[in-house]
Each structure stands twice: as C-alpha cells, then as structure tokens.
Structure 1
Amino acid sequence: MIDHVATLVSSPERPALSDALLARVAQVLPGAGSPHMLNPGVAADIPFRTPAAAGDVPYDARAQADRARAALDGAPVDVVVQPVATRRKRLFLADMDSTMIGQECIDELADFVGLKDRVSEITERAMRGEIAFEPALRERVALLAGLDAGVVDRIIAERITLTPGGSALVRTMRRDGGYAALVSGGFTLFTAPIGRTIGFDEDRSNVLITDGTRLAGRVAEPILGKEAKLATLIELRNRFGLAHADTLAVGDGANDLAMLNEAGLGVAFRAKPAVAAAAHARVEHADLTALLYAQGYRVEDFAA
C-alpha cells in the first residue's frame, strides 16, 4: 500500500527535473510508483511504500530523503518525504527575516547608523545558535539608539525584497481554509506592513521602544524568541482544534528550531547548517512554492 510520497522540487528559474533523474530517485524508494508531475521540469511526486516498521519504531522520513538526495548526484533539487495521508496542512507559521523576505531588517536599520557589519556579525552568530537570541537582540537594538524611526518606511520601500513564492504559498493555503501567521524575532514596524503585503492573517514580533520619533535603543519585554514562536504554534493549533500533523512551519535560524520541530512538517529554508540538519525537511534550491508542492498542489492550483 502506498503510504509515503517523496516530492522533488527545483527552482522555477532553473528547472532541473528530468525523466532520467526521477527514475534514478525512484530506484532508492521502496515500492515506488510512477512519478506524478506537479509542474513539468520543476516539481514532481514519487509515491512509495514504506517497509513494515518493527514494533512502534516510526519510519525515518528524513533518512529516506537523504537517500533520495544522494541519488540526485548533486542535481539542484530539494526532496521532502512525508506520509501521504497528512500532507495537506491547515496552519502555517513562518519566520520573516531571511525566510519570507531576503533581508535581516535589524541589519538594514544598523546600516543607517554605520554599524551594519557589526550588527550583521551578531545576527549571524545568533541565527547559527552560537549565542542566545534574546541578549543578542538587546545588544543590537541598543546600537540603534537615536535613529529616526521614519527610516523603516524607506527600508521597506527601497531594500526589502519578498522571497519568491511566498505570497502564492500564503494565499493558496488561506484560500483553501488554512490560517497563516508571521512569527518573527524582528519588529512590528516591519512585520505589520510586510505581513499584510504577503497576505498573512496575523503577525507577531517584537516592539521597538521609541523616544518621540527616534528609537530609544530598547525593545519591549518579554522578547519574542524561540520559546514564543513555539508557544504561538501550540496556541493556534489548540485554538483551531487541529492535530499535530495539520501544521506547517518554515524558518532559517536557531530561534526557529523549536517551532519547526513541533510542527507536523517543519521546513528549514536556506537555513544555517545546524538548522537544516535538525529540521524535518530542508529547501535549498527551490523558492517558497516548494511548500505548496510538498502538500500536493499542482502549479495550476496556486492562488493568483
């Protein structure tokens, strides 16, 4: 009985799927069925049958994804392996910086006070999990004291780029009854307008304290970090009466890992190595529509 599916996805800008490549991957999947194209050259499903598990030992989907990835022999294609029955999700939580957008907003703020390199180094260490997120955020925000808060509008207009596929992902899931929350360790000054632009139902992030029209160099407590992201997923899952398997989360940094591991499918998107190694699945080559293909959507099913 077919019970699992391997979804292969490449970049829409550089389609990399071929019949030969799909056949090579199918050879390492037990009881593989015929591939089913979701977007020719870009995304395809390969259904397969898992071996009967001994006792209560769960099937290791991540290990199977690694075997399929090895069969790709370096081709720029992502692999997501999961049970067929629970692949369609009803709750989506997403990190913002370097996930739904291509930038780290605090680094762009720091550029206006000539400290981007210093702040970016702290950001990178925090996202790799080398230093705790909360004190790292306080340290970076302190360096922004005196900055005109009005630069946020300029940064959004001139520097922020939305990650391709993000709006299609959010709007398609919401069209089909899902709920989408942008949950960021960044700041409400950014998440509110960016979340509206992408199409999220709600956004949660940190509040920068201002002194009149200028940043005070402080962030409101408690800081929204790793534990708050996890708590948000659990809260929304309970609010909507959803099962664990109904949830999807995506992020790139160490402060996303608890949320990713609690989700039915947690996806590390172009993430730091430690995050990619620990998440259920990872996307390194495709855009965010990979999370729609992983749910079985065909390209013609995407919301406009």
Structure 2
Amino acid sequence: MKSVATFVAGQGASLGEAAVRRALQGASIAAFALDWLAPELACDAFFDSDDLDASRAGLQLALAAAPIDVIVQPVDGRRKKLLVADMDSTMIEQECIDELAGLIGIRDRISIITERAMAGELNFETALRERVALLAGVTLDQIETLVTRITLTPGARALVQTMRAHGAHTALVTGGFTPFTEPVAARIGFHETFANRLEIVDRALTGVVKDPVQGRAGKRAALAGLRERLGLPHEATLAIGDGANDLDMLREAGLGVAYHAKPKVAEAAHARVDHADLSALLYAQGYRKADFIA
C-alpha cells in the first residue's frame, strides 16, 4: 500500500531533513520520496507499507523525545471532504463550562469534574448535568461578556477556511453549549453546529441541560449522519477532539485525530497531534503552507 508519513514540527520548533531521515531509519521505513510542504515545518515521506499500525508505532517511538508529530495514513483518500471537530480545548483554548464556573467563584470545584470526565473517569452525561446544576443563576449578559474573551486555538480558522475553500463540509460537534458554539462557529467559519442546549428562564440559567444530551454517542451519530447526508465514503471524513467523549467520533472517522489529548484518547485514535497546532491537519491532507487560507 502506498503510504505517507507527514512530519510536523511543534509550535516554536523546526524540522530538518536529518530528523526526518533518522525517524524513518529508526522505524525501519525506506521512504522513496520526501516532499516539503513548508520549509522547516512539515514534510511528507512516501513509502510502501503492509502494516500501517506498525509503521505508525515505529515512527512515534523514534520521535518520542522530539517535539515533532507524525501522522501515518494511506495516500489514497488523504484529502478529506468532511471535518467534524470538538470545540472546548480543541478549536478554542478554553473549557467553557469552567469559564462559566469562574463567573460565580466555583471554577476549581467544576474544573476537577471536567478533568475527570474528559479523562474518561466519569460518565459524561452525569458529570455534565452535575456541573450545569451548579451554574443556576448565571445570566445571558454574563455569558455574552464571557464569549468575547474566548480565544481560538492556533490554526483553527485556517483549518476550516482552507478545507471549505476546497469543497469540504465542516461541523462543530461538541458537548458544549449553544450560547458559545454559535458565535465560535461564526468566527471560525463552520457550516453548522451540534451542541447542548441550556434551559433559560428570564435570561438566566436554571441549571438544567435540555434533552437530548449531546455526549459521546451523539457526537458519533452526528458524524455518521453527516456522512450519510452528504453521500461520502468513510475514508473521506476527518474528526478531531481531545476528550473521552470524543472517542467514538474519532473511531467513526476515516481519520480520527487526538489533539493535545488525554492519554486514553491519544492511544485510541488513528493519529495524534501533541506538539503542533491545528494546521497539522492541513499538512496531513497534503496541503502546502501556501494553500492556507487564514
């Protein structure tokens, strides 16, 4: 099978040909061509492989001490037509529920629950309802002010805008809440969103999440539904996320990428990005730096 390993330097790091060739040698891979997608940042190495899992494991082991990510996949089908992405700590740099908790002085209390839920130690739906119940009384005015302080993850807008420009459909699929997802999706440029809805009375949260809760199963179903609606094959889909509630969505995708993720998620995903920003997903699809749309 004709395969490609895409090497991407971590944020603030640089990538040289010597590092690429050392990693290939360490994984016993004989590449027949190198193609630089961005000088000192990203490089494709093409090779033949009958066992992509072994090639991936060998390269990750060879790069274990280096701030370099590597994504290994078949060459055919690497350019995706559907992107589904988690929001919190993936497309944005915050966990919105923790930010809401900060408004009423209980950030530490809620952050502990969030961390355990994202690590897969707690049931997502139960943990979500428990945390939202503590937010009763937070007002929409407070939320609207908080939304203005949300920061995008480096590479987020370029990822979505570049894929859209090349005909891909994009969806923000999150366990977060619509007062955040709608403005975030607009800033980044997503076609549509799937998110949880909060009960609001007199412009304040009641502490209730409306049914159905968008969790692990809902994320997978959203990807599968979009794929069917768009008439796409399995391999044409790309998913990215960081938490345990993203696992089924990542596994459902043609390429599921764990982004700066919890260990359980990184180990289970098809690929992992631990050092680079979200532009790594463009390089993984064979886009060159000159192709990026900010």
User: Is it true that 1:17 corresponds to 2:7 in the alignment?
Assistant: no
User: Against the structure 1 CA distance between its residues 73 and 268, is the aligned structure 2 distance closer, same or farther, given a 3 Å change threshold?
Assistant: closer
1:119 to 2:116 alignment? no
Aligned residue in 1 for 2:62: 71
1:136 to 104, 123, 127: 127
Contact 2:82-2:170 within 8 A present in 1 as well: yes
Matches of 1:263 and 1:29, distance apart in 2: 28
The one-letter amino acid of 2:4's match is: V
The answer to whether the 8 A contact 2:196-2:214 is kept is: yes
The answer as to whether partners of 1:16 and 1:75 remain within 8 angstroms in 2 is: no
- The alignment partner of 1:235 has SS state of helix
Answer yes or no: is 1:173 the counterpart of 2:163.
yes
Q: Which deviations, in whole Å up to 9, do the C-alpha atoms of 1:27-52 show, x marking residues without a partner?
A: 2353312321111111100000114x
Work out the percentage of aligned pairs sharing the same amino acid.
Answer: 54
> What's the CA shift for 1:151?
1.1
How many residues align structurally? 293
- Matched letter for residue 182 of structure 1: L
Per the alignment, residue 282 of structure 1 pairs with 272
Partner residue in 1 for 2:98: 107
Alignment of 1:36-51 (within 5 A): 36-51=35-50
Q: Which residue of 2 aligns with 1:253?
A: 243
Residue equivalent to 1:54: none
Query: Following TM superposition, by how much is the alpha carbon of 1:15 offset from its aligned partner in structure 2, in angstroms?
Result: 3.1
Q: CA 1:29 to 1:165, structure 2 compared with 1: closer, same or farther past 3 Å?
A: farther
For residue 96 of structure 1, what is the aligned residue in structure 2?
87
Other-structure match for 2:252: 262
Classify 1:73/1:220 alpha carbon distance in 2 versus 1 (closer, same or farther; 3 Å).
closer
* Structure 2 CA distance for aligned equivalents of residues 63 and 95 of structure 1: 28
Trace 1:225-244 onto structure 2 (pairs within 5 A): 225-244=215-234
How much does 1:63 deviate? Answer: 3.2
In the alignment, what sits opposite 1:193? 183
Query: Which position in structure 2 is the counterpart of 1:271?
Result: 261
Shift of 1:73: 5.1
Normalising by the residue count of structure 2, what TM-score does the alignment of the two structures yield? 0.97
Equivalent pair of 2:49/2:55 in contact (CA under 8 Å): no
Q: Quick one: which amino acid aligns to residue 139 of structure 1? A: E
Q: State the 4+ residue runs in structure 1 displaced beyond 6 angstroms.
A: none
**Which of 127, 143, 151 pairs up with 2:142?**
151
Separation of aligned partners in 1, 2:73 and 2:292 = 21
> Which residue identity does 1:44 align to in structure 2?
C
Query: Unmatched 5+ residue regions in structure 2?
Result: none
Question: Aligned partners of 2:123 and 2:54: how far apart in 1?
Answer: 29
- TM-score, normalised via structure 1 length: 0.94
Partner of 1:55: none
